[in-house]
Amino acid sequence: MRQALRPMAGLPISAFVVIAGAWLALTRPILADDGLRPAATVQQTEAAPLADPEPWRFNAALYGWAINMSGSVTARNQTVDTNASFIDLVQKSDSLVGFMGYFEADKGRVGFYSDLVFAKLGFGAGQTAYRNPIAGLKISATASAALTTQIAIIEMGGIYELYRWPGSEGAFTAVDAVGGFRYWNLSVDATFDAQVNIDLSRLHLERTAGFAIARADTVQWVDPVVGFRVRHQFTPNQQIFVRGDVGGFGLGSQISWQAVAVYSYAWQFTGYQIAALIGFRALGVDYVSPSGGTDAFGFNEVLYGPIIGVSFRF
């Protein structure tokens, strides 16, 4: 036994220590927290989540549109020409109830938008004229409003950025294609002073409180819309956009069109902007109902006026 141990005893002590340490390193299990994890595991743990290179951008706006109207309205085949300023409409409307709102969401070059206009407008005898007079029937000068129109317009569609030209210090110019649908919902009451010898039933008119009323209840249609928008950003705080579109094409109205120009100045806060808006909008439409005769309805008007509002961008 002593002879068998002599060769081992002859080994240097340092060599024995090295061999023993290597044997322990090879046979010891690798623990998850011993600092000897595989390189792939270390990279997966330490890699930070990638940020979205094209995050969503949102813009919600509330605005007021000081509407002026010029054109003509036909209700029960009775046509009334209109030409009223915003002040005229304010004076003759029982309550100038109105709501205008805009929302847009964009991601990269693609986005969608929606726009809502609701207003109830009253016209006096001085802003209206009866186009096809019938003996004993004339536009009312005594009623609170000779013509009352309630308008709801809802527009929805998509946006695609066609071109962008970058400038210095955050400036750029971009051209967008716009396409969508514009939904119209109208009701019209035209009030006439009628003599007793007029057969109102033949004209499909209503009599109430000494007046004859041509009433068109809830006429609605949808126009397809196509157009372009140009945006120019002077600085990260200042921007102007101009938009033009056409629609209808006989599928809803005979023709409709729109032109808008808006300048905005924004104040930056943590994570969002608040912007003041000022601009001008004009919206025209020529609609004639498929039904004719005494039930004929038509709306050939241009709504135009300044815009002022506020938007929230985030």
Say what the pLDDT of residue 139 is: 85
150, amino acid identity: Q
Which residue ranges make up each domain of the chain? 2-46, 57-313
Say what the pLDDT of residue 166 is: 93
Say what the pLDDT of residue 42 is: 43
Residue 158 · residue 46 · CB < 8 Å: no
CATH class of the domain defined by 57-313: mainly beta
H-helix or E-strand spanning residue 5: helix 2-9
Say what the pLDDT of residue 198 is: 57
Condensed to tens digits (0 to 9), the pLDDT of residues 87-127 reads 999 888 765 557 899 999 999 999 999 999 999 999 998 99
Condensed to tens digits (0 to 9), the pLDDT of residues 200-237 reads 665 556 666 556 677 777 899 999 999 999 999 999 99
Say what the pLDDT of residue 299 is: 95
Pairwise CA distance, residues 223 & 287, whole Å: 10
Pairwise CA distance, residues 106 & 113, whole Å: 9
- pTM over the 0.95 mark: no
Say what the pLDDT of residue 97 is: 54
Which residue stretches of the chain have pLDDT < 50?
A: 1-11, 13-20, 22-45
Q: How far is CA 146 from the centre of its chain?
A: 33
Say what the pLDDT of residue 32 is: 41
Say what the pLDDT of residue 256 is: 97
Say what the pLDDT of residue 200 is: 60
Nearest to 155 by CA among 177, 176, 120, 184: 184
Say what the pLDDT of residue 131 is: 82
Nearest to 171 by CA among 223, 228, 215, 231: 231
Is 202 exposed, middle or buried, given 0-12, 13-18 or 19+ CB atoms closer than 10 A?
A: exposed
Pairwise CA distance, residues 118 & 153, whole Å: 6
